[in-house]
Structure 1
Amino acid sequence: MDTSPSSPSLIDARQLQLEQALQLLQQAGALLPEAEPYSPDWLQGLVDALCDLSSKDALTGLVNRRSFEMALGREVDRVARSGEPALLMMLDIDHFKAVNDSHGHIAGDMVIQSVARAIGQTVRPMDTVARVGGEEFAIILPNCPTSFGATVAERLRERVAEQRVEVSPGQQLQVTVSLGGAFAPQWVRSSSLLWIERADRQLYRAKAEGRNRACLEPHTDSLVSAEEKGMLFAVTQQDSE
């Protein structure tokens, strides 16, 4: 295949309509490529910047829900292959609606950003922190021993509770969070949905027990579910054919 500049199968990069993409990056405060405009390096930098922008939550800079789901799927596969423990935690800001109702949505955004910073300052660089809903976050902690899960969850809860969010001059808010966590079953082919459901059940339990607390699925409950047994049987059956 002829890939020379004169090949009719290639187009001049200057014919591309990139104004909207550039405007989007500028509005997001992203750094534009420093290479010669429309050069291969410049175009690659533009693509990389757009990919990075599409994977992040605009308000907090954390991973967005789509990227979180992709990362969770990869972690499910990794745990099934390696057998290393991995913890998924779902985190929800307590009484967040009251913040918006009493102080306005700008104050609500400030609270969300403060909680995001607190989480980011507490977890490891290898962990994935995502904003998956309005006031809901998710954290994937690979290679997290079961004996360490409760310590991590409590550290996160305390770190958020220590924050004081100045929503207006002289007015500060203290916010708390509820957390729920579950470990992926090791050496078992599971699914992202089942893992999220397990963590969500513990989050609902934390809220039902009074909020501002962390509840983790007891290790004895982290057994293979009927759905996972079915998935494991299906994989085994396919391998034998």
Structure 2
Amino acid sequence: TTEDPLCRFEADGVTHSVWRITDTARIDAIRTAIGSAPIVIADGHHRYETSLAYRDERRASDGDGGAADAVMTFVVELVEDELDVGPIHRLLSALPDGFDLLEAFEPFFDIEAFVFTDAPTVRRLQELGGLVLVVPEGAWLLRPRPETIAATRDLDSSRLDLALASLPDHALVYQHGVEHIRAAVDSGAAQAGVLLRPVTIDQIIAIAEGGEKMPPKSTFFAPKPRTGVVFRSID
């Protein structure tokens, strides 16, 4: 568009621009384009379910949902060029002193030493076909054992959840960024970290077409609108 945006600002190195669309023909064209194909909920399942529950409450109490019959949605084309899908990594703590994570993970993964280099770590994980366990003593590549993880979904988060279920009680924190994981382990803030590969667009589509939901905290999407840029009253 050649029109000036309603607002434009930068936050965390990302420029956000917002345009108001008032032309009814353009609105109808957008509605037709979006309505001509299924919508895949790639992120926000719980928010969507909460919106449905609130709509039903309004219908039950007021006879109709009113403004709650619609929910604000950010829609992008589900293709690699339009959407960047990043991983959400894991931090582990509160494990028993001296607990051997390598031994615990051995039934689920083939394990070999991993050395960090200047190359992007997540890209290396995709090339090597595995996850990485980060502990104070070093790092280890975890390649899933097909015979053990065959029953899980084709996602690193599902494979890791299977392995984590075998551990004693522990605390789990979700964390973005390889450097944040390494820093937390190096500082002792966490006993270990696990680096995951990003989910692919094909995996997202396959899970949605199978009638399933993505596991919680399995994806981080960009572009991501800044929270609070647009508000909508549902009173």
* Same fold, judged at TM 0.5 (above): no
User: More helix per residue: 1 or 2?
Assistant: 1
